[in-house]
Amino acid sequence: MTRVTVWSENVHDQKDSAVKAIYPEGMHACLAQGLAEDRGIITRTAVLQDPEHGLPEETLEQTDVLVWWGHMAHAEVSDTVVDRIQRHVWEGMGLIALHSAHFSKIFTRLLGTRCSLIYREAGERELLWVCNPSHPITQGLPPCFELPHEEMYGEPFAIPEPESLLFISSFEGGEVFRSGCTWTRGAGRIFYFRPGHETYPTYYDPNIKQVLKNAVHWASNATTRWPTRLENIPIDKAPRKIDLHSTANHG
């Protein structure tokens, strides 16, 4: 069983009637329901408004993959919680960052870049093209699929070169974007996936749901954790004998 925590800032969903109409239980609920179609995935949800944003130590300890959707409230996420998430990613928790999470604290911290881009909100058509048909995240998809209405994100996307580039989008206005990218940080696997503007029913789309289910399985990494502390190796534990030389401080 892969244990997923779906987090959403849950702000638009509360305030904007257009968003409420599409996601009456919140975007996190829709995302969790889509993932739970897969019997190998067990989900819980958490939102910004929960104590500790719903992400106390115990929850992250029981989370194999964290799914993150945020947009207008990035700055309200507490640095203490972000520190905690980052440590868990280093130790092996997967992270799936969705849409405007490109500007979230946790994503920009893990990548180390600005993650800026160009954008336009015009409800235009988006085509998603599979660049790497043999990656686990692209299985079960057609070579190209369409979302009838989405916000446009365009290049240049200020990210480190992805370890794997999985999707490129083209938009009705002609712009293009690296819509599916992976990186590794410590033991943690990170997947960024572009679609998901709050005013469109993107997360009900069967292809989108397929990508997210695949991504959860890919990002779940049940291996040894990286050490996160320095470790001192005394001289008598070195694999080979060291001659202590007459230096200033080893005389």
245 binds a copy of itself (CB under 8 A): yes
Q: How many CB atoms lie within 10 A of CB 6?
A: 29
Residue ranges in 215-234 that form contacts with a copy of itself under rule CB under 8 A: 221, 223-234
Task: Report the residue number, 1 or 242, with the smaller CB distance to a copy of itself.
Answer: 242
Question: Taking contact as CB under 8 A, which single stretch among the options 45-53, 61-69, 204-212, 241-249 is the one that binds a copy of itself?
Answer: 241-249
Choice from 24, 40, 148, 206 touching a copy of itself (CB under 8 A): 148
Single out the residue of 40, 118, 106 nearest to residue 79, CA to CA. 106
Contacts with a copy of itself, 59-78, as mask; x by CB under 8 A: --------------------
User: 90, 224 in Cβ contact below 8 A?
Assistant: no
Question: Taking contact as CB under 8 A, which single stretch among the options 27-35, 51-59, 61-69, 185-193 is the one that binds a copy of itself?
Answer: 185-193
Contacts with a copy of itself, 91-120, as mask; x by CB under 8 A: -x----------x-----xxxxxx-xxxxx
User: 192, 225 in Cβ contact below 8 A?
Assistant: no
Task: Report the residue number, 207 or 221, with the smaller CB distance to a copy of itself.
Answer: 221
User: 57, 87 in Cβ contact below 8 A?
Assistant: no
Which amino acid would we find at residue 47? V
Question: Taking contact as CB under 8 A, which single stretch among the options 42-50, 62-70, 147-155, 203-211 is the one that binds a copy of itself?
Answer: 147-155
Backbone angles phi, psi at 92, to 5 degrees: 125, -5
Task: Report the residue number, 160 or 206, with the smaller CB distance to a copy of itself.
Answer: 160
Which amino acid would we find at residue 10? N
For the residues of 111-158, what is the DSSP string, one character each?
H-S----EEEEEEEEEEEEES-TTSGGGTT--SEEEEEEEEEEES---
Task: Report the residue number, 30 or 117, with the smaller CB distance to a copy of itself.
Answer: 117
Single out the residue of 81, 130, 124, 129 nearest to residue 106, CA to CA. 81
Alpha carbon 228 to its chain centroid, in Å, reads 21
Task: Report the residue number, 7 or 218, with the smaller CB distance to a copy of itself.
Answer: 218
